[in-house]
Chain A
């Protein structure tokens, strides 16, 4: 399934990046570009909506981690939102569920970012 990316600014330093479909070695460079565009544009907090992602491989995981490192260097954070059970399984198998803050809704993640 084709990767879909939708980005939306929420205030000065928060961006919501909504992904859909498959994030793999072919499509992940587009996710990297979308994340970099927001980080370079001043968004310290990225809310990654994974609720419509059906497939996530190591290429995608690596980009999420790279985005997290970059965001934390700027005093921000990357929140993952509502991954499907299959994607949650991959996050747990790799131990990355302990690295990321995983929240149930975009609104919850945005509120968390606004409080920080």
Chain B
């Protein structure tokens, strides 16, 4: 089976801190389909964890205990694409900036975004159709084409 035929992973969890590790575990399993190094897999797991933590913290601040995070994984030719989408409204004053600067006072959100950008090859952050946040993470895998056979 080629990577293009690989099934899509879709996981939906509550936007609660205790479920972020569940997402990381699922991503670990998906990464097993690609010839990624240990550090590449761990980088991706950390980036996904950061995206989920962002959803969790916004849900906590908004008092939205019923919010959900949906994580979708796709194995494309030579890369893995993960999309982390939530239904937590983005506060106007705290929208995703995409800034590369690490805030010296450790602003949680800007540090998270910076960390994600350091860990994976592409990071896209935007507003989801339902008003929440969507984060798209791409990790390239140079050997992916060979593995697809």
Contacts and interface: CB of A to CB of B under 8 A. Distances in A.
Contacts of A59: 53, 108
B139 interface: no
A95 B102 CA distance: 10
Given A62-B108, A93-B118, A93-B119, A57 B17 contact: no
Chain B interface extent, by class: 20 to 34
A93 B120 CA distance: 12
Given A25-B17, A26-B18, A58 B39 contact: no
Interface stretch (B42-50, B86-94, B129-137): B42-50
Interface in B80-109: 102, 106, 108
A77 interface: no
Contacts, number: 51
A94 interface: yes
Contact of B21 (A24, A89, A95): A24
Which of B21, B42, B52 has its CB near the most chain A CB atoms (within 10 A)? B21
A73 to B, nearest CB: 14
Contacts of A55: 24, 46
A22 B21 CA distance: 9
B72 interface: no
A9 interface: no
Interface of B: 17-18, 20-21, 24, 38-39, 42, 46, 49-50, 52-53, 56-57, 102, 106, 108, 111-112, 114-115, 118-119
19 contacts: A24-B49, A25-B53, A25-B56, A25-B57, A26-B17, A26-B21, A55-B24, A57-B50, A58-B50, A58-B53, A58-B111, A59-B108, A62-B106, A65-B106, A89-B39, A89-B42, A90-B46, A94-B102, A95-B102
